[in-house]
Structure 1
């Protein structure tokens, strides 16, 4: 295959699953001999949340005060300004991973600055605002080729569009996410006052599709059995407005007498660096990830690679890539079922079995394999021939 220049577009520079996917995918593509350049609007000017072994472009963006529609429109416009010249569009393939990038590329296609684009759908959001819903639909409908990270989403979208969609999956970097303890583990424990136990880890902040409210109800039940238990809520950077759901979660915490703060029953960290994330996985006793809606659930692979048992919803996409003994499967609508899984994860024999099965499952998901699954789609969309590469 010829070497390609690939523009990868994501929605932000923050530590979210889709952004992490783009960086790792681009690194793997570069290792295969291509030049994959990750782009993202960057109103903070601080760059991406982690360094990466691939080119990165922080697209100039202004802070926006207003509604989510105002913010998304501004970010689409940021991309349009960046790619306004032919020089900025000097890529063989354009690959959007979000509705923001997809809408910008659709407009560039109509302006004949690019011939078309690839769109990876990680998941679909349910927007009550018709403008946001239309933007999401347009970013998919006008793509030249579609990819999905799970079969469930591929089948759902294919049913609407009448076309088959390849599934590319996800990967995990075993050189970063591993079970062997490091100095960072003790630092994380001391910084956040993680001296109780057991420790339940939740990734994604207070967000409805992550089922944070259900996790809180389950954790309250766990505390009746283990009064020193702590819930650590990591992450939460998002372009969408989750304030009302966050308020609901905080009201639930208050109703259960669960105090939020360093060393308290509930610790809310906000976004953390990639250097710290493996330490959180290793410090915790179980990952609670009973999501209502998920594209793939990248943090599940990361947790398993670090030896952490995972609780996941008994529904796709988890049932696609995990076997029954890889994780603890629960009904996301039943807090007692989630609480029972939290308790089960603490039993030594159960933990040992989940550690072995989870580690083996994580090892089957490499970013190189994920990158290779993109190449046929890229070849179909590439607009020029370049020098051949050999891998």
Structure 2
């Protein structure tokens, strides 16, 4: 079976992490897998080394000074569309809105649903839902949103988790101590400073937490994105200054460094307003780090009793404090939950779907 997985970037965003891990798991079964993507900003390779059994087609996509988000999205679609060779594959599987717009016929993974107000983006989002002939969702909650909003029935195939990688980081006590010496005792969020990640709510929650726990810092990692969140970042910085908070904003971190940053955290904060699965939080559970997440149906479905939940900043602060006071209460259930989600299982379920679609 010749499979093309289409993504939109080489950077470490959730959809790209998913694409590479799925591609490697499919290739391990003997499938012929090629990942197509755009090399933004001169990138000629992915953010991490990829299993050599996976073929890679990284299309040059240079930056254009002053280019708006809408035009950049449209140029992304046209660049991928012009180069892609659909007839070379039995299955074409788009992993995001951009790649689903670049091909005429594909399977589409809908990780989560967005509400865009820019006309070009709203139209892109709609086409990427209605045009594919088959759909995958990584959680039942998102599949229900797809059914309720568009009448589309998706196959639910959860993410895998590289649990072993994060468990190994937690077991490396010397590395964890070095990271804690560098960053102190800290609450960690991964995903950068942007609206969907609920970072402003986290800031408000941390301000409340700090009143009773002044020795804990706030660390934010990640943040690679196609969108322009400078206004949101300015609001974040201004509010942090008002509150007297100085978070450590690490930005995108190297792939090999992320596990130790996660494993050394005292608690992992996950206040996202929209998610499809919550891979970053599941990686934290694999490292034995307690997770506090927003009260969302999808996160209740995925995390169940292995995380703490809160609906607003005050509740989030209370749950962060509870996690700091009692980090062991959900540690083993969290590790067991994360270990149960494997990419090998995800690959098997994808192959079963592909075979059904091929008839």
User: Normalised by the shorter chain, which TM-score bucket?
Assistant: over 0.9
Asked if the contact 1:64–1:70 (Cα under 8 Å) also holds between the matched residues in 2, the reply is: no
Equivalent position to 1:170, from 144, 156, 159: 159
Local SS of the residue matching 1:136: helix
Map Cα deviations across residues 105-142 of structure 1 (whole Å, 9 max, x no partner): 12xxxxxxxxx210000011111112111111111211
For normalisation by structure 2, the TM-score amounts to 0.94
**Partner of 1:75 in structure 2?**
76
Aligned residue for 2:249? 268
**Higher share of residues assigned helix:** 2
Pair 1:310-2:256 in alignment: no
Contact 2:188 2:218 in 1 (8 A): yes
- SS of the residue corresponding to residue 135 of structure 2 reads strand
Shift of 1:189: 4.4
Determine the structure 2 residue equivalent to 1:154: 143
Q: Tell me the residue number matched to 2:111.
A: 122
Residue 59 of structure 1 deviates from its aligned partner by 1.5
For the pair shown, the structure with the greater C-alpha radius of gyration is 1
Aligned-residue CA RMSD (Å): 1.7
Of the three residues 205, 216, 228, the one matched with 1:229 is 216
Alpha-carbon distance in structure 1 between the residues aligned to 2:258 and 2:268? 12
1:186 Cα deviation (Å)?
5.0
Moved over 3 A (4+): 182-190, 380-383
8 Å contact kept, 2:161–2:343: yes
Q: Is the 8 A contact 1:121 1:149 kept in 2?
A: yes
Q: 2-side partners of 1:165 and 1:46: how far apart? A: 34
Stretches of structure 2 lacking an aligned partner (at least 5 in a row): none
More relative contact order, 1 or 2 (CA 8 Å, 6+ apart): 1
Aligned to 2:320: 342
Which residue pairs with 1:59 in the alignment? Answer: 59
TM-superposed deviation, 1:242: 1.2
Question: Are the aligned partners of 2:189 and 2:221 in contact in 1 as well (CA < 8 Å)?
Answer: yes
Which of 278, 286, 295 does residue 259 from structure 2 map onto? 278
Partner Cα distance (1:9, 1:137) in 2: 18
Structure 1 segment 316-335 matched on structure 2, within 5 A: 316-324=297-305, 326-331=306-311, 334-335=312-313
Residue 351 of structure 1: how far off its partner (Å)? 1.3
Tell me the number of residue pairs that the alignment of Structure 1 and Structure 2 aligns. Answer: 353
Query: TM-score, normalised to structure 1's length?
Result: 0.86
The answer as to whether partners of 1:145 and 1:377 remain within 8 angstroms in 2 is: no
Deviation at 1:226, TM superposition (A): 1.9
Asked if structure 1 preserves the Cα contact closer than 8 Å seen for 2:10 and 2:43, the reply is no
1:214 and 2:215 matched: no
Indicate the residue corresponding to 2:91 in structure 1. 93
Structure 2 residue aligned with 1:30, among 15, 27, 30? 27
- Paired position in structure 2 for 1:12: 9
Q: Give the structure 2 partner of residue 377 of structure 1.
A: 353
Residues 286-316 of structure 1: per-residue CA shift (max 9 Å, x gap): 0000211111110111000001000011222
Q: Are 2:136 and 1:135 equivalent residues in the alignment? A: no
